[in-house]
Amino acid sequence: MGVDGGRETIASLRRYLEELKESGVDELPRAAVPRGGKPGSQPEAASPAAAPAPPTPVAESQMATTSGETLDDIRRDLGDCVRCQLGNQRTNLVFGVGNPRARLVFIGEAPGREEDLKGEPFVGEAGQLLTKIIQAMGFARNDVYICNVLKCRPPGNRNPHHDEIVQCAPFMLRQVKAIGPEVVVALGTFAAQTLLATKEPISALRGRFHDYHGIPLMPTFHPAFLVRYPERKREVWEDMKQVMGLLGKGAPAIKG
Ligand code: URA
């Protein structure tokens, strides 16, 4: 490689690192351990700031959650859904996207305007930030699975109504069971409170694993909240480091 080529590589690496920093990532993971490698088996994982011991062994949670139905079965069952009023107001039903065998599932609240138009979750500004977080964790967006509690956009992005949750949330649970992930991340107050059936604030729920139908669930702040309050990205990254630890993605480098 010539001198110019070297300079270009360094410049693009610097741009990439700046982008990561903008997403709240100020440390990078060490090389990942292979799938099946023991989470936490590397000495770095035992740093003083390390997460409490994972609540459920990975293989067990996978066995406990595989339901026998496929995502296609569930999508077919939803059909042209009008089980609640949102069905008559949507442009597109936003089912979910990603790897049907994902080890990691992210669950948000409901589609926003851009998601409704595109039929894909988390494609707006908050979605772009989520994609950066996923990449910083060492995954591509299509390695993981992304969906929402509600499949249709509440008009004006209002909060979901109780009857809408009652109709829609069972499909999300079926998606999770069909995938059988090792970890679920609940994005924001609404998803965390709905999945964990609690009224506790997200600030109290985040930072530790909870049990969701036998699967470790990490609540964290919603990317839309991070767009408004970028200074809170550091807490999300702390949560994601715990998730990476559970997935054996290698311990994040300890800051010097
Ligand atoms: N916010 C959500 O909770 N989900 C989306 O898909 C987009 C924004």
Question: Does ligand 1 come within 6 angstroms of the Cβ of 108?
Answer: yes
In a domain, 233, yes or no: yes
Domain encompassing residue 150? 46-246
Burial of 14 (C-beta count, 10 Å sphere; 0-12/13-18/19+): exposed
Query: Under 8 Å CB-to-CB from 185, ≥6 apart: which residues?
Result: 104, 105, 106, 107, 217, 218, 219, 220, 239, 240, 243
Query: For the whole model, what pTM was predicted?
Result: 0.77
Mutate which of 90, 91, 109, 130 for ligand 1 pocket (most atoms within 8 A of beta carbon): 109
Ligand 1 center–CA 214 separation, angstroms: 25
Question: Does ligand 1 come within 6 angstroms of the Cβ of 245?
Answer: no
pLDDT tens over the chain, length 256 residues? 455 555 555 555 555 455 445 434 445 444 333 333 333 333 323 333 444 454 544 433 333 346 899 999 999 999 999 999 999 999 999 999 999 999 999 999 999 999 999 999 999 999 999 999 999 999 999 999 999 999 999 999 999 999 999 999 999 999 999 999 999 999 999 999 999 999 999 999 999 999 999 999 999 999 999 999 999 999 999 999 999 999 999 755 444 3
Q: What is the pLDDT of residue 255?
A: 42
Among the atoms of ligand 1, which is closest to the Cα of residue 146? 6
Q: Give me the CATH number covering residue 85.
A: 3.40.470.10
In a domain, 39, yes or no: no
Question: Does ligand 1 come within 6 angstroms of the Cβ of 160?
Answer: no
Mutate which of 148, 150, 202, 226 for ligand 1 pocket (most atoms within 8 A of beta carbon): 148
Q: What is the pLDDT of residue 240?
A: 98
Task: Give the number of domains in the chain.
Answer: 1
Distance CA 46, CA 251 (A): 9
